[in-house]
Structure 1
Amino acid sequence: ELAVWGTEDGLRFVTPPHEGRLSEARSLLHMLGALDGNQRITDHGRALAKQPLHPRLAHMLVKGGEQAAILAALLAERDPLRNRGTDLALRMRAIHNPNAFADAHRGTIARIKDETKRLKRATTKRAKLDLGELAALAYPDRIGLRRAGAAPRYVLSGGKGAILPQGDALAGHRLIVATDLDGDPREARIRQAAALSMEGLEALFGDQIKWHNICTWSRRDRAVLARKHRRFGALILEDNPWHDAPDADVAKAMLDGIRELGLKPSRAARRLMARAALMGDDFPDIKETTLMETLEDWLLPHLMSVRTAADWKNFDILPALQSHLGWDNTQRLDRTVPGYYETPLGRKIAIDYDEATPGINVRLQEMFGVTRHPVVGQTPLQITLLSPAQRPVQVTSDLPRFWRTSYEDVRKDMRGQYPKHPWPEDPTQADPTLRAKPRK
């Protein structure tokens, strides 16, 4: 009515309607052809508004003509047959021959017949449609396709789920139209329905049945599935493999798999991420949470050969991270937070960034002469000083202080255990070495 008046947008309600329900109403009217793409009334919509029926039934009556009158009258009334399953065809037979049904409600049937006569006067004859096709005109969003399995569960073209009573006469049909549901939002129970043929569906909605190529991540298969679907709304009428799916489509679907599986950086990638975290705020953020939020930006171009959980397990994100940082940032990182510490002897020792504080393990004698504690960024390295047998003897984040304090005690212990190695009184003035004392 608001669309007919043309005042919907500017009308101030005393009690505003629920926005979600208003949106569903607009969607249904658009599906019935009563509103155009701009939510304005169409000529067909004006014709529906003139009918004293719900827009669903009015649409069925206008499109189906005289033959739809009895079904419109039936659906607008209470059920004339109680506890007799869901099949609308049984109700139609009861209306035509109530004497054959001892449990038929005669008063209801009489009202349906009177309403049928009234509705017929305002209709014309149209092409012959069967019961399911007429019902589908009124309920294009409730055309149901049977799911796989023993239970008579259906997915409806509008996207919701529904189930028939076990053993119902319609339970074996692949396609039905649910004309009455109990309203359960999760999986509604079907109270009335009609069988629908594939030919009938294609005759009515052939222009809306289209092929769709899709790539999706399957949690069950733990892989990207590329399929060709022939669809009507939410119904997948045909499902075939999509063998030549573009790599870009597969890679985009794989992102959903990565969101489920997690980033799983290699040890080298974790070291790079930890080093970057020690840089300033002007350096690109490659913390794991940020990377997971921006997968499309840095990872997508590198996923062309990844489509399963096993592929992802063997994939190293390090090259993608390095590409994301770029040459200039990588050079800055190497200068400020290097991956290696170069000892006074020129040896490169990998810095361990796995712990909260970056650190190295190095022979104590190799650090002789070092009077300034090495840092990465603004963080002092945690140095584990090793004996000649590569066993830890001291952990320090302040090497000059260690030389001044604890070194003397360490020297006393080590001279007894390793007499062939140098233990100078002033290590700051000694030359670094990895060799034992020369023989006399």
Structure 2
Amino acid sequence: MVGMPPPPALPELPIRAALPDLLDAVARTGTAVLAAPPGTGKTTLAPLALAGLIPVAGAPGDSTSRVTRDMPQRRVLVAEPRRIATRAAAVRMAAILGEQVGQRIGYQIRGETRRSAATRVEVVTTGVLLNRLIADPELPGVDLVVLDECHERHLETDTACAFLAETRQILRPELGLVAASATADIGLWTALLGDGTPAPAVSSEPMRHPVQMHWAPPRERVNAPDGLRVDPRFPAHVAHTVERALDADDGDILVFLPGASEIRRVADRLAHHETESLGVDIYQLHGSMSSAEQDRVMRTGDRRRIILATDIAESSLTVPGVRIVVDAGLARRPLIDHARGLPGLTTSYASRAAADQRAGRAGREGPGAVWRCWSEAEHARRPAQPAPDIACSDLTAFRLQAACWGTPVAELALPGPPPAGAVEAAEATLISLGAIDDDGAATARGRALARMGVHPRLARALVDGAARVGAEKAAEVAALLNLDRRARGDDLLALWRQLRISRDRQWENEVKRLTRSLSAAGASGGRSERRSAVGDDEAAATVIALAFPERVAKLQASAAPAAGRGRTGEPGRSGPPVSAGQWRTVAGTGAVAAERSPLAGSPWLAIADADRSPGRAAALIRAAVPIDGELACELVGDSVGERVEWDAERRDVAARRVRSLGAIEVSSQPLKEADPALVAAALAEGLRREGLGLLRWSEESKRLRERMAFCHRAVGEPWADVSDAALTAGTDWLEPWWSRARRRSDVERIPVGQALRNLLPWQAGIDETAPEALAVPTGREARVDYSGEAPVLAVKLQEMFGAVETPRIAGVPVLLHLLSPAGRPLAVTADLASFWEGPYQDVRKEMRGRYPKHPWPEDPYSVAPTAKTKRHLR
């Protein structure tokens, strides 16, 4: 046809064989699940075919020479979980069509848009897609949405799928929806996309390029990852493996590492080994890089390349020229401590599925090789799949999106349910921000915060901070926090100033975007409410404290050395040395700074980022700025109240009027008259901590308690339990003296014996049930010892002559301690008759020579009991 461009020359990719089935499925049902392994072309050729921009053999209106008017014409929106993949996919599709990005192929990421009226396929991040859906659930101007990389279970992808399913069901049944996954586990997605019956599934054959596998575990033992810390010996091993791969195979090398810090370490190590002399260039690829830097990585040259990347290169992205993959086998995963307000990341072993995804990078363009920095046996022990984000992430942004969408979380068609505790924590945060009401519905403020395009915490800090420090500085600090720039140091104020000097392009673009968002929301904050000019230090502290109020921290006056002094305090553990000072956050978490940190000694800190590794008592500060204590109290909101508690150091009640900021005690002064109920509770806590030693026990009261304990063991009801646990569990038995006590000295004056008698049963006498003494055959009263399991009667052996029966108390045989004339133990028995008939003869032989003045008859029944010598018996 006149004026129609010639059809593009399509790359020979496996997805082409599956495109007719894909188009047919969409034509019949409006939905499809596309299962295509890495490198098959699902991210680029499938959207072009769905938009009708490339010929598809076997599809309606097919022509071998041109795209005809009869082919389906759609406006397609492709959602990618990562910004770098979004731009790369758009560039690749435009190149296939022989065009520049911004014509028929466009894209939009945070702060950057390239599209026009002619755009038919637009690639966006899932965050951009969610914002569009919330702004207009009908998604006008879009005929079909492709959710790419669904298998990775990013939280925003799961959310977008739920929202789109509801849009199709209620508002636009004609809106097409395709879920693209790189794994064969597609049953979940066919059920979610289907309307009563599963959506059709279309599969593509994988690339057939062979990939040789090399297992390269470290020769020496390295420690497992700990939080964000990785054993420094492991990056060295990765660098060594890269050098081996460089010598063994041809092509560019893609190295997977968990984060930017590990990328820097491996890059430094390789640079020291003179890779320049080998004609090799080293590139870094991670999320905080600028678009221009990312583009450089995507261009091949005359020299071999080593590309050190995070998992952003794991899928949706083909780095040209790569034939070798070196996989460190580590991944950064979300970690959230809801109770202490410390969301962040932790380093873990990559799953088998993730390792397979990474390995697929080596075989996209031809035969390749994979070097895994762990053993094959260890690989078999790794988890099959990574945990979905929704199971382990901070859900604050998700919960606000759901509130703005208007559907209860429980009714959303999510691939998996969110943890109830995480949702509750998110709702508590949003209520504190004024973003949702008590019923969980989005407020006008919440909708305004959602439109800022950042986490609700940062949106709140941006809006409220602009009113205090001005829009420019608020946007600059919020942009810094939103880009998650992890510097070598922990002084965020220094990093801010460095970005200004270096004119960081990505940061500047983010500042402009946030400034526009403020202006659109009518929250430009031209003048500060507090004063006309606010310095950088106060501006940074203000924005951080508004974003993370529970992370404001005060230096502890008597802080003990933090766990991990020296290196981390554990042999073989890696990580930065920490300083001795410890801060306490509003949420109650301890925090420490790295050794020689410029933050050391700061009385107050506003902490932007901290790493609280599992099993560690204190979090390691990653980014913070000093803050004035009064400003902290003003921003977070302090309170004044009575604090009556048990002081373990003084071992007494401490009553004070305390000014506090959450778990932080700002100041205090003694309180003369305290609430009696609070005093009683403090004394009860002291009793639980100190035990019965808090009371003053006379010998008489001790013996009474022992007798009562014996009665409880031997008889049971109605005798009360007087064990430590029972007596410290409550204080009723100490009344009426307890309720009048105000301090430890009052407690010590309680007559414990009289208090114990309050527990005696009225219908049974203690002297009858457990007499204090028993009469022995001589007629003497001997005291019974009830301190052991059985009552004990200590008596001289001669005093028991003639006795046959062992005494009993409450039916329990008394344990007789038979003593020598000098009062030393000779025998212990609970069966006196057996003793006389057996062991007594041995005792008699030994003792008659030692104590000749005392009687030792051969027949103990033949003489009367006595405590006297033979002379006195005459």
The residue aligned with 1:190 is 621
Worse-matched range after superposition: 165-174 or 406-415? 406-415
Worse-matched range after superposition: 264-273 or 41-50? 264-273
Amino acid at match of 1:140: P
TM-aligned CA deviation for residue 352 of structure 1: 1.9
Evaluate the alpha carbon distance shift between residue 306 and residue 27 of structure 1 in structure 2; reply closer, same or farther with a 3 A threshold: same
Evaluate the alpha carbon distance shift between residue 261 and residue 71 of structure 1 in structure 2; reply closer, same or farther with a 3 A threshold: farther
Evaluate the alpha carbon distance shift between residue 294 and residue 439 of structure 1 in structure 2; reply closer, same or farther with a 3 A threshold: closer
The residue aligned with 2:646 is 216
Match of 1:113 among 512, 518, 543: 512
The residue aligned with 1:77 is 483
Please say if 1:87 is aligned against 2:492: yes
Evaluate the alpha carbon distance shift between residue 27 and residue 240 of structure 1 in structure 2; reply closer, same or farther with a 3 A threshold: same
CA contact (8 A) 1:298 1:320 kept: no
CA contact (8 A) 2:695 2:752 kept: no
Please say if 1:357 is aligned against 2:774: no
Q: Deviations over 1:207-265 (max 9, x none)?
A: x42234131342x5555544432111111111333454555244123124325989998
Evaluate the alpha carbon distance shift between residue 292 and residue 422 of structure 1 in structure 2; reply closer, same or farther with a 3 A threshold: closer
Amino acid at match of 1:75: L
Match of 1:139 among 542, 548, 564: 548
Q: Deviations over 1:288-341 (max 9, x none)?
A: 464376255546976647649xx99x8999527724523527x44432232221
Evaluate the alpha carbon distance shift between residue 353 and residue 306 of structure 1 in structure 2; reply closer, same or farther with a 3 A threshold: farther
The residue aligned with 1:251 is 683
Evaluate the alpha carbon distance shift between residue 57 and residue 415 of structure 1 in structure 2; reply closer, same or farther with a 3 A threshold: closer
TM-aligned CA deviation for residue 51 of structure 1: 3.4
The residue aligned with 1:2 is 402
Give the match's secondary structure for 1:351. strand
Aligned equivalents of 2:517, 2:685: Cα separation in 1: 55
Amino acid at match of 1:255: L
Aligned equivalents of 2:670, 2:859: Cα separation in 1: 77
The residue aligned with 1:271 is 706
Q: Deviations over 1:77-105 (max 9, x none)?
A: 243x94465233761x566xx4xx2x452
CA contact (8 A) 2:542 2:635 kept: yes
Aligned equivalents of 1:89, 1:205: Cα separation in 2: 24
Worse-matched range after superposition: 295-304 or 175-184? 295-304
Give the match's secondary structure for 2:409. coil
The residue aligned with 1:380 is 813
Please say if 1:347 is aligned against 2:780: yes
Amino acid at match of 1:350: R
The residue aligned with 1:174 is 603
Structure 2 residues not aligned, in runs of 5+ = 1-400, 560-578
Match of 1:124 among 512, 517, 523: 523
CA contact (8 A) 1:61 1:123 kept: no
Evaluate the alpha carbon distance shift between residue 114 and residue 94 of structure 1 in structure 2; reply closer, same or farther with a 3 A threshold: farther
What RMSD, in angstroms, separates the aligned Cα atoms of the two structures? 4.6
CA contact (8 A) 2:719 2:761 kept: no
Amino acid at match of 1:239: S
TM-aligned CA deviation for residue 128 of structure 1: 2.8
Match of 1:280 among 705, 712, 715: 715
CA contact (8 A) 1:352 1:358 kept: yes
Aligned equivalents of 1:318, 1:49: Cα separation in 2: 64
Please say if 1:203 is aligned against 2:612: no
CA contact (8 A) 1:226 1:250 kept: no
Please say if 1:229 is aligned against 2:630: no
Give the match's secondary structure for 1:164. strand
Aligned equivalents of 2:759, 2:441: Cα separation in 1: 51
Aligned equivalents of 2:835, 2:594: Cα separation in 1: 81
The residue aligned with 2:726 is 291
CA contact (8 A) 1:77 1:112 kept: no
Aligned equivalents of 2:853, 2:592: Cα separation in 1: 86
Worse-matched range after superposition: 396-405 or 168-177? 396-405
Amino acid at match of 1:137: L
Amino acid at match of 1:209: S
CA contact (8 A) 2:640 2:657 kept: no
Aligned equivalents of 1:294, 1:432: Cα separation in 2: 48
Evaluate the alpha carbon distance shift between residue 204 and residue 346 of structure 1 in structure 2; reply closer, same or farther with a 3 A threshold: same
Aligned equivalents of 2:523, 2:849: Cα separation in 1: 113
